Each structure stands twice: as C-alpha cells, then as structure tokens.
Amino acid sequence: MKRILTYGTYDLLHWGHIRLLKRAKQLGDYLIVGLSTDEFNAIKGKKAYHSYEERKMMLEAIRYVDLVIPENDWGQKPKDIQEYHADLFVMGDDWEGKFDELKAYCEVVYLPRTEGISTTKIKEDLEKLK
C-alpha cells in the first residue's frame, strides 16, 4: 500500500482543495492530511474562519481523504512520515523546494495549484462585496 501525506489549513474549503486532494490520492492508496490546528495557525499569523474541529469534519467527509491528523508545528513532518509510514509527501507547487529536505524520508512531489481559486482570493472577493 502506497501512503501519501499532505498538509494544509483547508479553510473555506473550495474546489481547488478538492482537486488537489483528488490528485494526491491518485498517486497512491491511502491519503493522510495533516491539518493545521488553530494554535499552529496562530503561530503562523493566520486565523481560520472555521475551527479545527469543523475543518477536520469537512475533510473527513471527502472520499479521497483516509485520515486527518493534527499539524501542531513546522518540525513534525519527518516524525509524521515515519510514524504513518508515508511513501510520498505532496504539497502545492507554491511550496516548491520548501520541503526538499523531506526527500531523506520519502519521495516529495509538488502538484500544480488550481488556477483562479484560493482561500485568499475568496476572502478578497468577499471583501469587495462589502
């Protein structure tokens, strides 16, 4: 069984997220999503609209996702790769090169983002509606 591991905040879930998760799952058999906790988002200077528990529930409802784990800090990825026996680490290509050190533990793949959609764009578009 080939296990894939990815991470993100997955706030304001949109079709770009679904497409990324679908493509990640197509690379193997079992998709694990490390979901940024509210506390970790605060450290990163981010505030999610939905709570961790709400975002986790939505991700668990997506058929491509097999397991959701909490992401608590930047440094946990090597430990998670080993603990969950991940064969492949997948992120969007806006992170290209940022996680190459994980190649010591597993294969690393950066997938193209879906053009024209992002959580940031949704927030900006909503702000224009005010």
- Catalytically annotated residues: 44, 46
Q: How many CA atoms lie within 13 A of 101 on its CB side?
A: 7
**Count of all residues that appear for the chain in the document:** 130
Helix (H, G, I), strand (E, B), or coil: what is residue 71?
strand
Contact 25, 53 (CB under 8 A): no
- Residue 50 is encoded by which pair of tokens? 């939905």
- Residue 47 is encoded by which pair of tokens? 């505030």
Sign of CA dihedral 57, 9, 126, 19: negative
Contact 80, 62 (CB under 8 A): no
